[in-house]
Structure 1
Amino acid sequence: MNFLTKKSAFAYSALAISFMAIEAHALAIQGLSANQISADTTQIKVAFDGQPVTPVAYQQAGGKQLTLDFNQVSSGGLPRSMPINRGVVNEVTALNNGSMTRLMIDLKEQASYTSTIEGNNLLVNVKQGNQVVVNPSVAPASNQPMTVRVNPLLAPTSSSLATNYEGISAFNYTGNAQGGDVVVSLTNESIPVDVQRQGNKLVIRTTGTTIPRHLLRRIAGNGLVADVNATNQGQNGVITINMTGDFEYQAYQSGSTLNVSVLPPKMLREPTLEEKVYTGEPLSMEFQDVSVRTVLDVLAKFVNDNASGNQGYLNIVANDNVQGNITLRLMNVPWDQALDIILKSKGLGQRKNGNVILIAPASEIAAEEIKELEDARRVDELEPIRQEYIRLNYAKAEDIHELIGRVGSASSTIGSANNHNSLLSPRGNATFDARTNTIIINDTARSINNVRQLIETIDIPVKQVMIEARIVNASDSFSKQLGVKWGFNRTGNKFDIRGMNGLSSSNTESRFGNFAVDLGVTATSGISLGLLNIDNYALGLELSAMQADNKGELISSPKVLTTDKQTAKISSGVEIPYQEAAASGATSVSFKQATLALSATPNITPEGKIGLQLQITNSADSGDRVLGVPILTTDEINTNVVLEDGQTVVLGGVFKNTIGKNQSKVPFLGDLPGVGRLFRNDVRLNNKQELLIFVTPRIVNDGVSRY
């Protein structure tokens, strides 16, 4: 064991010495400049301290980014970001991992490039246009990910890549029908990892490192994830997440742990109550052992570069105690989620004020908030008490008084130190005067203002609903006729109602047989309900025609006005007298009510519809008596319906069926078979009557009410 330890130490020492030797003799970039050499060409000059090397070049982002990789070249004193803003070139970003320097040239649009070497300078000419011209001095290559590292000993060298070491110590998948999470534990946080979407699969690749044999397996998924498959492809480990449909993904690395989440597209899913919804622009960023302040600065720059309007800008103020470095890799993550991940990983918190975010240790922010609450409490304790009289317009003072304190007692005074639900401070109290409908408050100015805001919200006029009912006693023939004639054609800029809306051009009125509702009755009992899409005028014509044809009568047409959510009641009937004897033997006359009663409670919805809670009771004298007390027959219905403003609901099925048989005959002769019909008169009576109730609610707009 000691031998292996010493051998490993020697290997790392040798590796470090080799890197130091490389650094000592490595070519370095001394400077970078850009000039507009023509109307469509920008020249970027990269100055070296020796003969330039041939870079590996490739284009990304649909041709809008040119990347040059210089092997065994240091970035010298180049800053990380260099704004250019000349021609088609936006800026140049320089990255270095100790053994290679990468120059990423951000372009405004697709462009072609050529390059030449002049002395110790590499000249890159970027020209507008999408045809890529390859020169011998720039060798194209496929897009390979580059990991930014601070410690060069963490970078895999060519020898280490050739020996092929294992880069994953464990990986696990958890998920459900809505997606899943893959957690990969790396043997070293510096191992290059590439996450790419390829059609309906997501590929996680560890460059230059393989997956141990015992981790090579396939994990079955369900729902969105079909399966997760871990394999080795040459010297690279590959974890493939196969999907069953469209998906989104987020990936980030914290330390040596890589987290990849797949989920349905945002338009196809609803966030849960526990899930925080992130709305920021997605970004990808990768850092190895970089200052937290630097990462926050990069994040703010990204947000401001993608801001649209003054409201989109982000300003970050970091507390002096925001220190330390962080290693992370974020891929396609909303910037606000990225900020949360960074802060949580370092034990930091945030407070937002407008477009300014203060970053500080979470414990300091919590202590500051507690201090602010304590200061506010002390101010309330010292603030003078005022008295305020608030006269109400529409609400009852007693109801508002109860809302202020939510105190369920008979006392008319609210305010105590134990009443934590009250809008008042511990020193405040409130009472009311029912005669003048006035609330009287004794409290601080802040508490009085809170009460005023509550009253402004609640003390408003309530909308009213006009409920019109038509109670019709119809014969069987008319009820059947009406059952199939519940449609009406009214023209002349009016609606044609046949189960749908239409328009015609004549000014005639007619009844027809293609109707929206059929309540033709065949049963002998029960109550049915339907909706009638005709206006008051059309319904009135139908009922007038009924009375003219002697097919029924309109018993009553009451109207009642009530406020929203208040019950209105309409009743019509008779009182049936009967004698009632007392224990002493004295008699008195009592009454039983045989009435038709309609009770309706409206509820106006925010969409302007009317919900109606209906209760209809129909009681009538059956003609039977028990000890002289009349027996009543009763039909009752309770229902809830939702109607458009002005729509009619119809309740039918309350029947009265009279069946009679009379016979007059000549004695003996009328009983003879056959010829007996000549000497007798048979009368059969079958009279059916149905009670129909039409209810039409309308919202009364008085020009003042607001909902």
Structure 2
Amino acid sequence: MSCRRVMLAFGLALSLLLLSGCAAQKSQLQQEGFFEEWRLLADDSKGHSPAPRRESVLLEPLVEQVETITGLEEELRPMPTRPVSMHLWDVPITSVLRSLARLAELNLIINPAITGSTDVHLHNVAWDQAFRGVLATHGLTYAWEGDILRVMTIDDMEHDLRLAAVKEKKGAHRIEIGRVAPLASQIVKISYANAEELRETLLAMLTKDGEGNARGSVVVDRHSNSLVIQATQEDLARVGRMIAVLDRPRPQVLIEATIVEASKSVARDLGVQWSGRYLAGQNRPHGITEGLDPAALLPATGQETLLGGGTNPDGSPITSALGLLYGSSNWNFLSLQLQALQEDGKVNILSQPSITTMDNQMAFTENGTRIPVVTTTDGDRTVRYENAVLRLEITPNIIDADNLRMKIAVTKDEVDLSRQVEGNPFIIKKQTETNLNVANGETIVISGLTKQQLADTNSGVPGLKDIPGLGWFFRGSSKASGMEEVLIFLTPVILPQRIAAP
């Protein structure tokens, strides 16, 4: 009976354990589903790049056709050089030229005024030499018109030169007409481009007068962000085509940054004691480029290592808990790991800004304080404030859908209270700038902004350390110094275009 009770109790306990395990698993699944839902919402709320223009703009070529002077291209276009052989007696010169054209498969036009006969004895001679020899013997010349070879007399050549001079005068007359043509006005709404910058570009497109000044004007109306253009009809058409090309929506870039302050040893554990970049994600090499000349890092792709992690400058493996959490698909995990290290007291996260900016548009973030500086002039005290900040400036330039060029400038100011002038502390300024290529979603690590921490500590037995003459037996002092480093993690992401409504 007692054995049955024991078995029954054991079975009941096992059932309770199974039920609690299922409930915990269900709760865990619900919790994971909850966080997954918010993660998807966070990804969707990062923003988009503007959709392209709805209206289709049919652009005419912006390069004007330049009329060539017929008869002056024989030195520019190569002639056939295949070997030919001909043995002819008392044959019309036109027949010889047509035979040569058929051998080289060329289109040929001959002036009907060309007459006369010739004898030809050629054996394995280059085609161009044979052709030029026949022409020179009879005082003829040639010129290309597109794919057509014209055979002409000297009189024909002089006629072409006179015709070219007339066309040149006609073009000059056309320019002169443009200089005196009546001006018309047009207002163009600018949607995406900077109207002030666009104005400077368009002014250079206007026809110039005899003194080199633009005929017309381009004025910016800031209220409506429009351009008021006054120019000739021909210039208005050309400027309109230019605006259609330049006034396009620019893609946008989301830049996620984490600025971390850590001790030198922790920075070494993170594997970024030397500046470099870490790549991760599908079909990407893993590793850190370290200890190289800066020129070798542009554009660096990282030294490939095993999947286990990167290496420190001395060749030892990275022991940080971050592991392989750098990369395009792991930014959220990198942020969480840095926060975990901060909770352990190993790092201090100074700032985690997230900035969205347009292509080729500078964005910055600033974190710090303002230091009052007191100056005295003729007995009058004046207080002004100096910035002591950590400033990060980023200018992204989208190369294509997968790569960006980035201009990065970092300025770090430190207040040195150990050195003062009339009570005003020194401000130590450090600045670094770089340009590099980076893949879309790749994390860049910037390091090298270090500062020295000095600490004086006095300790002793309370009461006894203050006894005159004998207190030094019961007290002590110590000095400690250490180096701290600021690490900046940057991840640029090209935002996809928003799908335009139908």
Give the shorter-chain TM-score range. 0.5 to 0.7
Which residue number in structure 2 is paired with residue 603 of structure 1?
397
CA deviation string 1:608-663 (max 9, x = no partner): 63222222111110112112222011211122212222222221122223244646
Q: Which residue, out of 229, 237, 244, partners 1:456? A: 244
Identity over aligned pairs, percent = 24
Contact 2:368–2:387, Cα closer than 8 Å, also in 1: yes
Q: Secondary structure at the match of 1:514?
A: coil
Q: Aligned in 2, Cα 1:457/1:487: closer, same or farther, shift over 3 Å?
A: closer
* Counterpart AA for 1:481: D
Aligned equivalents of 2:251 and 2:87: distance in 1? 64
CA deviation string 1:576-607 (max 9, x = no partner): 12322232x12232211111112223333368
* Counterpart AA for 2:269: Q
Contact 1:286–1:329, Cα closer than 8 Å, also in 2: yes
Which residue number in structure 2 is paired with residue 387 of structure 1?
184
Q: Which has the higher helix share?
A: 2
Aligned equivalents of 2:164 and 2:368: distance in 1? 68
Q: Aligned in 2, Cα 1:625/1:686: closer, same or farther, shift over 3 Å?
A: closer
Aligned equivalents of 2:136 and 2:249: distance in 1? 49
CA deviation string 1:256-292 (max 9, x = no partner): xxxxxxxxxxxxxxxxxxxx99799863335689987
Which residue number in structure 1 is paired with residue 216 of structure 2?
429
Q: Secondary structure at the match of 1:479?
A: helix
Contact 1:465–1:700, Cα closer than 8 Å, also in 2: yes
Aligned equivalents of 2:131 and 2:217: distance in 1? 46
CA deviation string 1:351-410 (max 9, x = no partner): 534x44555555444433332343455567679757352513333455444434439xxx
Contact 1:648–1:695, Cα closer than 8 Å, also in 2: yes
Contact 1:487–1:534, Cα closer than 8 Å, also in 2: no
Aligned equivalents of 1:596 and 1:341: distance in 2? 79
Q: Does 1:403 align with 2:192?
A: no
Contact 1:300–1:316, Cα closer than 8 Å, also in 2: yes
Which residue number in structure 1 is paired with residue 109 of structure 2?
317
Q: Which runs of 5 or more structure 1 residues have no equivalent in the other structure?
A: 1-275, 305-313, 408-413, 423-427, 502-510, 522-531, 671-677
* Counterpart AA for 2:261: N
* Counterpart AA for 1:301: R
Q: Aligned in 2, Cα 1:644/1:349: closer, same or farther, shift over 3 Å?
A: farther
Q: Does 1:567 align with 2:362?
A: yes
Aligned equivalents of 2:100 and 2:313: distance in 1? 66
Contact 1:614–1:639, Cα closer than 8 Å, also in 2: yes
Which residue number in structure 2 is paired with residue 618 of structure 1?
412
Contact 2:207–2:235, Cα closer than 8 Å, also in 1: no
Contact 2:199–2:227, Cα closer than 8 Å, also in 1: no
Aligned equivalents of 2:381 and 2:370: distance in 1? 18
Aligned equivalents of 2:122 and 2:158: distance in 1? 23
Aligned equivalents of 2:132 and 2:385: distance in 1? 76
Q: TM-score scaled by structure 1?
A: 0.44
Q: Does 1:283 align with 2:102?
A: no
Q: Give the greater-gyration-radius structure (CA).
A: 1
Contact 1:576–1:593, Cα closer than 8 Å, also in 2: yes
Aligned equivalents of 1:481 and 1:691: distance in 2? 14
Contact 1:648–1:694, Cα closer than 8 Å, also in 2: yes
How far apart are residue 294 of structure 1 and its match? 5.3
Paired positions, count: 377
Q: Which runs of 5 or more structure 2 residues have no equivalent in the other structure?
A: 1-74, 289-300, 317-325, 466-472
Q: Of the two structures, which has the highest relative contact order with CA contacts closer than 8 Å and spacing of 6 or more?
A: 2
How far apart are residue 551 of structure 1 and its match? 0.5
Aligned equivalents of 1:629 and 1:555: distance in 2? 25
CA deviation string 1:52-92 (max 9, x = no partner): xxxxxxxxxxxxxxxxxxxxxxxxxxxxxxxxxxxxxxxxx
Which residue number in structure 1 is paired with residue 374 of structure 2?
579
How far apart are residue 696 of structure 1 and its match? 2.7
Aligned equivalents of 1:641 and 1:458: distance in 2? 26
Contact 1:350–1:365, Cα closer than 8 Å, also in 2: no
CA deviation string 1:400-457 (max 9, x = no partner): 44434439xxxxxx654326696xxxxx53443424412424424x444333333333
Q: Aligned in 2, Cα 1:544/1:366: closer, same or farther, shift over 3 Å?
A: farther
Q: Aligned in 2, Cα 1:544/1:364: closer, same or farther, shift over 3 Å?
A: farther
Q: Does 1:350 align with 2:143?
A: yes
Q: TM-score scaled by structure 2?
A: 0.59
Contact 1:397–1:432, Cα closer than 8 Å, also in 2: no
Q: Aligned in 2, Cα 1:490/1:571: closer, same or farther, shift over 3 Å?
A: closer
Which residue number in structure 2 is paired with residue 117 of structure 1?
none
Aligned equivalents of 1:696 and 1:684: distance in 2? 39
